[in-house]
């Protein structure tokens, strides 16, 4: 009976906490994020707007404008703007030594956390957690305009560059360069979305920093790289170069 009552008390406590957080974000962030009751959002979360977090997902961190997280995710991360994260994304922040100089894998000899209720160690011998931001305990960082596939796992401390793509089922153990396409276990670079010149151009333009009004007006440019480049070439073209200006204007009118 006591066990049953304790169990019911714990369940009610968890339910009440979730209920409070649900209404906290519905009131504070109602215009910034779309989410349901099954979604768990820490009260430390920050949302820029046009965001969404799917059902049964836990999220703690910052999320830039236009980014979203799928269902059944466990995420502690800072996410840039207009990034898309799929379903069942997880993370591993715990570390465990298994090579030299350590002789054993048992934490009873290098940890003070007393995993078994006991330890022989008198001081901590290894860093047991890995974070991108240790002060806030944020596991990793994802840049702007990234696409993360389903069932991806991130090791704590990694950073994913702007425009990168992480393919489904990958385990990301190292930083991902901007606009790289990575996949596998562990994740490795298998290609890039664009050529080096185009990547440098996009990193310089940083279209995700444009105001919402600009993006709403020029949304079609984001669907045509040639016209997108032409638009910015026109803006930076020498006013005396009439031939270049006429060519760009004709292309944009197509």
pLDDT confidence tier of residue 77, bands split at 50, 70 and 90: very high
The answer to whether residues 150 and 214 belong to one domain is: no
Query: Residue 201: is its pLDDT beyond 50?
Result: yes
Distance of alpha carbon 252 from alpha carbon 135, whole angstroms: 48
- 222 in a domain, yes or no? yes
pLDDT, tens only, 47-68: 999 999 999 999 999 999 999 9
pLDDT confidence tier of residue 246, bands split at 50, 70 and 90: very low
Residue 31, CB-side half-sphere exposure with 13 Å CA sphere: 0
Average pLDDT over residues 107-129: 92
The answer to whether residues 240 and 166 belong to one domain is: no
The answer to whether residues 222 and 176 belong to one domain is: no
Question: CA nearest 72: which of 60, 82, 86?
Answer: 86
- 228 in a domain, yes or no? yes
pTM of the shown model: 0.86
The answer to whether residues 89 and 181 belong to one domain is: yes
The answer to whether residues 89 and 188 belong to one domain is: yes
Q: How many domains does the chain contain in total?
A: 2
- 112 in a domain, yes or no? no
Distance of alpha carbon 1 from alpha carbon 139, whole angstroms: 40
pLDDT for 233: 84
The answer to whether residues 189 and 247 belong to one domain is: no
pLDDT, tens only, 126-164: 989 999 999 999 999 999 999 999 999 999 999 999 999
- Domain span holding position 134: 2-94+129-196
Query: Residue 69: is its pLDDT beyond 80?
Result: yes
The answer to whether residues 60 and 144 belong to one domain is: yes
193's CB contacts (< 8 A; 6+ apart) are 163, 165, 179, 180, 181, 199
Cα-Cα end-to-end distance for the chain: 76
The answer to whether residues 159 and 249 belong to one domain is: no
- Here the CATH number for the domain that contains residue 38 is 2.160.10.10
pLDDT for 22: 76
pLDDT for 1: 45
């Amino acid at each position: 009976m006591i066990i049953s009552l304790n169990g019911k008390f714990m369940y009610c406590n968890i339910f009440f906490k979730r209920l409070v957080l649900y209404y906290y974000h519905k009131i504070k962030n109602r215009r910034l994020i779309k989410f349901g009751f099954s979604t768990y959002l820490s009260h430390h979360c920050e949302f820029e707007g046009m965001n969404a977090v799917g059902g049964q997902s836990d999220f703690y961190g910052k999320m830039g404008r236009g980014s979203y997280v799928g269902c059944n995710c466990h995420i502690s991360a800072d996410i840039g703007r207009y990034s898309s994260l799929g379903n069942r994304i997880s993370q591993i922040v715990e570390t465990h030594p298994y090579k030299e100089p350590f002789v054993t894998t048992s934490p009873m000899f290098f940890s003070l956390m007393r995993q078994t209720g006991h330890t022989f160690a008198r001081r901590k011998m290894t860093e047991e957690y890995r974070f991108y931001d240790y002060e806030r305990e944020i596991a990793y960082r994802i840049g702007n305009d990234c696409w993360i596939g389903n069932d991806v796992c991130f090791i704590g401390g990694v950073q994913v560059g702007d425009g990168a793509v992480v393919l489904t089922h990958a385990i990301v153990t190292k930083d991902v360069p901007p606009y790289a396409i990575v996949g596998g276990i562990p994740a490795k670079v298998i290609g890039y979305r664009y050529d080096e010149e185009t990547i440098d151009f996009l990193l310089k333009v940083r279209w995700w920093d444009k105001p919402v009004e600009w993006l709403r007006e020029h949304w079609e440019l984001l669907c045509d790289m040639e016209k997108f480049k032409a638009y910015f070439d026109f803006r930076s073209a020498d006013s005396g170069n009439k031939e270049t200006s006429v060519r760009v204007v004709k292309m944009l009118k197509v």
